[in-house]
Structures are given as structure tokens and as C-alpha cells.
Amino acid sequence: MAICKILVPFDFSEYSDRALQTAYKLGRPSEIELYLVHVLDEMDSDSDRNQLQRLQAVVLPSIELQSVVHRHVLRGNVHEEILEFATKNDIDFIVIGTRGRSGILRLAIGSVAQAVMKNATCPVVVVNRDETEKIEVDPSDASYLKKRTGDSAALDMITRAMSLRATDIHIDPADDQEYQVRLRIDGVVKPYCKLDSRVAEQLLHQFMTLAQVDQSDPFHAKEGRIELPAVINDVEIRLTTAPVAGGQAMAMRLFAKQNIDFPLEQLGFPSQGLSTVKQILEGQEGLVLVTGPTGSGKSTTVYSMLKSFGKENRNIVSIEDPVEFAVPFVRQMSVDEKHGITMTSGLRTLLRMDPDVIFIGEIRDMEAAAIALRAANSGAFVFSSLHARDVASSISLLRDFGATPKAVANGLAGIINQRLVRRLCLNCRREMGLDEKQRHSFAEYGLPVPSQMYEPVGCSECRGTGFYGRCGIFEIVSCKEALCEAISTGANEADIRLLVRQQGVMSLTGDALTKVIDGTTSMEEALSATWS
């Protein structure tokens, strides 16, 4: 696919805005490489960094995500710098705005547009204020324009990421001159833009100031939370910085508040799995573990289960590191090691607060595991998360933390292991047949072989990816007699996994394949990760 290199001279006027809109329409975003150039007079006192920062905000989020965009600030004679830049960078088109009402006929003699058109070695598109048609705005761009936050580069970056449904922002040094910004959208990390190092360093400073992070020591990792203004307060942001080769790297996790109170029926549980979850919750005691890797939706699942108790007269307390979502139905305590509040000391405090339900953000060590199981065995209802591969390995991990087989067997109420897979875009998914290998995959897991399934295509709604959003994939067990007996007698991980399957519990792969059958995801996406 040939990439069209388009140069847009930009002076921040409505005329250059119109030229940029015209450039968007010269090809599909994925086929365009945009060069935004702002030229300063040699005597202009404004800094290059300030102008680069202004240029950063002019491209719409969806265009930025799909196109390669370069930004440059030059000094000298305007039309000469534009022409020289176009020649050096093998530009295919120059799109330039003009104040003329009737095209070139009313261009003032000696104007920049006329000089560029007369001397350029590539085609020049001149756009006057009356000729630009209104372009169709991507929904994500409309969301961004509604919430854009003025002159703050940091808040603008956050607003752009939110409009694109990003869950993470990564800002990393690429070399001495540039930083790379990437966004995680629907679980996939995608390049978003490159920043001049001068702009990036100022941006990192703004983020750390918002998060109230100590910037006096750049040689140690830092963590903080960003407080957002009211216009974009529907997201919580956790920030982490670390010194890496080339400078400071930053990662920000964006937690959408709207994702914390999903009804259990909307999380994607299979019908049998949803019944098992409700049975576990009806038990009202024991330890419920939600397990899986980072970013697999564990927190959403836990908060949704806790919310199911919202109308009951229960005292729900939590100890989290950090508190990811502030929710009204839980009395939440955050780990604060500077003031002596650790996960284990905070948990001891919570046990003295007459709790009915306890949420431990994550079991990370032997002491936390022991206290959680002790509380569960004393009649409390305890929820927590654990980084584990599947149900059987979750039990092994508790034993690795020093818990006795008997304590685990008596304390466990249930385990929910989960992942997230991308949903097919309903606007463009396409039916496809199955080959023999694919038919065998369904039969292997005891599933009916469908006559057809769907594959991703790509359209404007999903920005060419073929996917839009994510759904959960689950393995869910309730700890009943046979499983408790196996755990209590010290059965190994393989034997526990076999017993779980014999009890009819579907594996993660099996549940993923059911999502293929109902058209939620594709075969390739369902099998893209390795799980039991």
C-alpha cells in the first residue's frame, strides 16, 4: 500500500484548520502520512517547544491513531522553508489554506500560498474559506471535542485517550530527539504519536504535577493518582513512572467509572457459570478468588459482585493497593506504607470493624493469604484477587504461600478465573466457513460444530481493526465436596484440573469457543492466548 505524504503549513488560523480537514479527505487515514509545519520568523521570541505543543493538539484523535503524523517548527522565510521542507522529505502533496474568496484569482501578489504554488515541485492544493466541505466526524472525535480541556497538554492527552476507549497510555523515550506515545485499546497496544523530547518532558512534568508525585528524585520509580477536573471526572487514573534508558518512562492506567457497576448478567458469564457465581454468592461465607493476569478485568468482576450486595444490610470493607474505584457501598482503606498501613496491618484493622464482607485488593504474600483464609474460616465472606493461570494453579499458589491444604479446602468458597478477548465489530463482521481443523477444535471441547462463524473485516466504526470492545472469558468453580476433599488431601495441580473438568466446568478455551459460536469473537482471537 503506497503511503501519501501530505504537507500542511499550519499557522493556527481557521484557514489552516480547513486545509487540514481537506488533507484528511485525500485518502483513508491509514494511507496518509501528515506533516504539519509551522514557520516562525527568525526574530520571533516564541519558543519552538511552545509551538510544537500547540501543534500536538490540532489533529483529531481518530486521525492521529490511524495516520502517521509529524510535527515541525521551522524558522525563516515562510514559503522558502515550506518549499525546502517539501523537497527534502519527498512530499506528494502540499495542502495550504488562503484567505481568498475565489481561489487563486484573489490571492494577494506575493502571498505565501501563491509563492508555494508557483515554485513547488509537487502538486499544491489551495483551500479557501468557502470551498471546504464539512467532514464527517468520528464518534470518538465528537466525544473529544465535547470534553477537550483548553490549553493543558496533559489533560488534552487524557481526553484524547478516553475518546478512543484507551485503557492505558504509555509514554517512552524513543531516542534523544523523540518520545513514543502508545495507547492500549481493546487490549492491544497501538502506536499513537511521537513527541519532540522537549514537548514530552514538559508533558511528563505536567502529569507528575497533577499526580502530586515528587519530582526531585528522577532515579526511582514513582506512583500516584491524577485528580481530574469536573469536565472529565468520569475516569480514575493511576500513574507510574520509571527511569529507563534514554529518560523517564510513564504508564497511566485509565479506569472508567462506568465499568464498576455492571450487573453480573452483563459481564459475559456463560449461563452455567452465572448460575455457579450466584450459588457462591448465596453461600455468604468463605474466600472467593478472582484470578487472572493484569488487565484481565478482575477488579470489574469483584466490584460487580460486591455491588450485588448493595441493597442488603451488610458492612462491606476493603483494603486495596491502591483503591482503584471509590464506591459508596464499600468502606475502603488504601495501603499507605509511609504511614505504616500495609496490606496485612490494614487487613487486621478491618477484621476489628465488624465486617460482613471483606475485599482484599490482592493476595501477594504468605501473611495476607493466612489472614484471608483465617477470616474466611471464621465465617466472614472474603473476596480477593490473585495472579494465576487457571483454577488449579490458583490453589497451588495459595499452598505456595504457606497455606495448609486443610485451610485452603475449608476456606475456599469459589474461584473465578478470567481473561478478556476482543469483540467483533457488529458493523462489519463477515460470515465464513470452517475447515477441518477448526471443526475438530469445537468437537475436542464437546461443543456443537457451527455451520459458520465470523471473521473481522474492518470499517470506519472500528477504525479498520474489525473489533470493537472486549468481553470476558471465564472458568468458574464452586468448591464443593469432591473438590474440597482433593484439595484437603494435597492433590497435585494436574489432578485438580482433571477433577474440575470431570465436574463439567468449562475451560477458558471452551468458553472462548462458545463466544465464537455466538458470533461474539473470532476463532483467531479466541485461540490467541494460551490457557488451559
Indicate the domain borders of the chain: 4-136, 140-256, 260-420+472-504
Give the per-residue pLDDT at 135.
61
Of residues 347 and 442, the one with the higher pLDDT is 442
pLDDT band at 532 (very low <50, low <70, confident <90, very high): very low
Q: Please tell me the predicted confidence (pLDDT) of residue 106.
A: 41
Q: Span 394-409, mean pLDDT?
A: 94
Report the chain's mean pLDDT, rounded to a whole number: 88
Can you list the alpha helix ranges (DSSP code H) found in 459-526?
481-488, 493-502, 508-517, 523-526
Q: What is the pLDDT of residue 141?
A: 85
β partners of residue 369: none
Q: Which three cell numbers stand for residue 107?
A: 490571492
Helices (H), 68-152: 78-88, 112-119, 139-147
The SS3 of residue 167 is strand
Mean pLDDT of all residues in 200-212: 93
Residues 11/46, Cβ–Cβ less than 8 Å: no
- Quick one: pLDDT at residue 531? 52
pLDDT bracket for residue 136 (50, 70, 90)? low
Predicted pLDDT at 421: 94
310 — pLDDT class (breaks 50, 70, 90): low
Q: What pLDDT was estimated at residue 105? A: 40
Q: Return contacts of 20-23, CB within 8 angstroms, 24+ apart.
A: 20/58, 20/59, 20/95, 21/132, 21/135, 22/95, 22/125, 22/127, 22/132, 23/93, 23/95
- b (16+ CB within 10 A) / e for 225-238: bbebeeeeeebbbb
Is CATH 3.30.450.90 the right assignment for the domain spanning 140-256? Answer: yes
The predicted model scores a pTM of 0.86
Topology (CATH) of 4-136 = Rossmann fold (3.40.50)
Cis amide bond preceding 322, omega within 30: yes
Do the domains 260-420+472-504 and 4-136 match in fold? Answer: yes
What is the per-residue pLDDT across 58-112, written as a single tens digit (0 to 9) for each? 999 999 999 999 999 999 999 999 999 999 999 999 999 886 544 444 444 347 8
What CATH number does domain 260-420+472-504 carry, 1.25.40.10, 3.40.50.970, 3.30.420.130, 3.40.50.300? 3.40.50.300
Average pLDDT over residues 285-294: 94
More confident residue, 263 or 106: 263
417-432 pLDDT, tens digit each: 999 999 999 999 999 9
99: closest CA among 91, 108, 90?
A: 108
What b/e string do you get for 110-149 counting C-beta neighbours within 10 Å, with b at 16 or more?
ebbbbbbbeebeeebbbbbeebbeeeeebebbebbeebbb
Question: Which segments within 425-490 are labelled E, that is strand?
Answer: 430-432, 453-455, 467-478
Grid cell for residue 200: 514530552
170 or 22, greater pLDDT? 170
b/e map of 254-273 (b: 16 or more CB within 10 Å)? bbeeeebbbeeeebbbbeeb
Angle at 279 between CA 277 and CA 281, to 5 degrees: 70
For residue 457, is pLDDT > 90? yes
> What is the pLDDT averaged over residues 181-206?
94
pLDDT score for 244: 92
pLDDT digit string, tens, across residues 363-395: 988 888 998 898 898 888 999 999 999 999 999
Name the nearest CA neighbour of 376 among 401, 406, 346, 396: 406
